[in-house]
Amino acid sequence: MQKLIVNGGKRLRGELKLQGSKNSSLPIMAAAILCGEECRLDNCPELTDIYSAARILNGLGCKCRFSDNTAVIDSADINVTEIPEKLMREMRSSIIFMGAILGRTGECTVSMPGGCELGSRPIDMHISAMRRMGVDIRENHGKIICRAVSGKAHGAKISLQFPSVGAPETIILCAVTADGETVINNAAREPEICDLCGFLRACGAEISGDGESRIVIKGKNRLHGCEYRIMPDRIAGATYLAMTAATGGEIILTDACVAETEPFISVLEQTGCSIITYDDRIYLRSGSRLRAVRDRIRTMPHPGFPTDAQAVIMAALVTADGTSVFEENIFDCRYRHTDALVKMGADIQVLRKIAVVKGVPELHGANIEATDLRGGAAMAAAALAAEGVSEISGIFHIDRGYEKIENAVRLLGGDMRRV
């Protein structure tokens, strides 16, 4: 099992080109199934989750290959409609493929998806939406067997109970080639949903309202292949900004998505960091000691503060001057990183959805284990800020979302190596 060895206490300083978005790439790779032709995805990050998606595609009969952050997917010859349980368990996004396979073939067999353990992560909204679209769904020995009753899904009006990100993506994927019109109410407004719709429009789909809570999709008989550039990863961007802030450093992030990162930036600015944005660049300079964030940090659907950035900003705030309060509203078990931060000297009290972080003067290195993707990134940020050496195990979690994290950190002058 690989580990990250971090010799902390060095200020990060330099310029970093941001990777492409994992959370956009995964549904877009699934969407490539609908084209029946070759698609070329540029700026696709090379991550273990992306390779899992590629294995799913290849298992279905598509041809998917990577070189230099470009994924080329040819979905002309789909001859399988079942995703094996082992692949379903590798990540949560495997469930998104359900909508795309149904859209292309009218049937599919999946099982419960895996992914980070952030509390209960049901798929009830995905399932009930597919049923509304004319899909018969049965469970048999853990397999979820789906078949469009009339051979093809049809449009429907679907109101989600909660602005989920994944559920509207499943619906959109099924709806773009369904019979008639689909309306999704209370959809999430996450930029990655807009990126998926941007890709689908480039393939000939008719979608409007993405980025708003009401999305309308008019089903088309056929889509075609295209070339598309994946948006930058705003969560990886938030992570490198938080790491730099935690170490009192200075960074220019290039190829960043400024507007989409603003909900994070506006909170980070309250710590006293100076942040300037222009075009696709974010410049951050951190003072000697951060200030605690006075307003409660409430995670919310976009454009609220992103749940995926909660852990990494907490890693920066554990050594801030004063007390910061977090409220996690999206997942019921998303403070699993706090034990490791406490082991490094942080003062954090967690009570259900609230975490109270009292800033301490400094952290010390420790042997810690990543618990989930963003929690692992938070541990890496804390280790970079801490005095002494930390050893982080369980880094397969981190590799799911960060492209060669140790290279990015070393480019910025940090001391992190993989052993």
- Chain positions 277 to 316 lying near ligand UD1, rule: CB under 6 A, are 307-308
Q: 3-state class of 289 per DSSP?
A: coil
- Chain positions 7 to 46 lying near ligand UD1, rule: CB under 6 A, are 23, 26
Compare residues 97 and 228 and give the one whose CB is closer to ligand UD1.
Answer: 97
Rounded least distance, CB 331 to ligand UD1, Å:
5
Q: How far is CA 316 from the centre of its chain?
A: 20
Neighbours of 230 (CB within 10 A): 26
Neighbours of 76 (CB within 10 A): 12
Reading the block at residue 314, the tokens are: 């907490």
Task: Render the burial of 278-314: b for 16+ CB within 10 Å, e for the rest.
Answer: eeeebbbbbeeebbbbeeebbbebbeebbbbbbbbbb
Cα gap 89→112, rounded to integer Å? 7
Rounded least distance, CB 161 to ligand UD1, Å:
8
**Under rule CB under 6 A, residue 405 binds ligand UD1:** no
Helix runs in 67-183, H state only? 85-88, 96-105, 124-132, 166-175
Residue-by-residue DSSP string for 244-255: HHHTT-EEEEES
Q: Which amino acid is at 248?
A: G
Compare residues 124 and 347 and give the one whose CB is closer to ligand UD1.
Answer: 124
Reading the block at residue 247, the tokens are: 């170490």
| Among 122, 141, 221, 419, interactor with ligand UD1 by CB under 6 A | 122
Reading the block at residue 234, the tokens are: 């705003």
Rounded least distance, CB 283 to ligand UD1, Å:
26
Cα gap 94→38, rounded to integer Å? 21
With CB under 6 A, what is the number of residues at the site for ligand UD1?
21
**Under rule CB under 6 A, residue 93 binds ligand UD1:** yes
Reading the block at residue 116, the tokens are: 């980070």
Rounded least distance, CB 15 to ligand UD1, Å:
26
| Among 19, 25, 81, 164, interactor with ligand UD1 by CB under 6 A | 164
Which of 289, 324, 322, 320 lies closest to 310, judged by CA? 324
Compare residues 125 and 245 and give the one whose CB is closer to ligand UD1.
Answer: 125
**Under rule CB under 6 A, residue 139 binds ligand UD1:** no
**Binding segment toward ligand UD1, per CB under 6 A, in 30-38, 117-125, 361-369, 375-383:** 117-125
Rounded least distance, CB 126 to ligand UD1, Å:
5
- Chain positions 185 to 204 lying near ligand UD1, rule: CB under 6 A, are 188, 192
| Among 39, 100, 146, 167, interactor with ligand UD1 by CB under 6 A | 167
116 as an active site residue: the answer is yes
- Among 116, 146, 194, 203, the one annotated catalytic: 116
Query: Which residues are designated catalytic?
Result: 116
Chain residues binding ligand UD1 by CB under 6 A are 23, 26, 92-93, 121-126, 162, 164-167, 188, 192, 307-308, 330-331
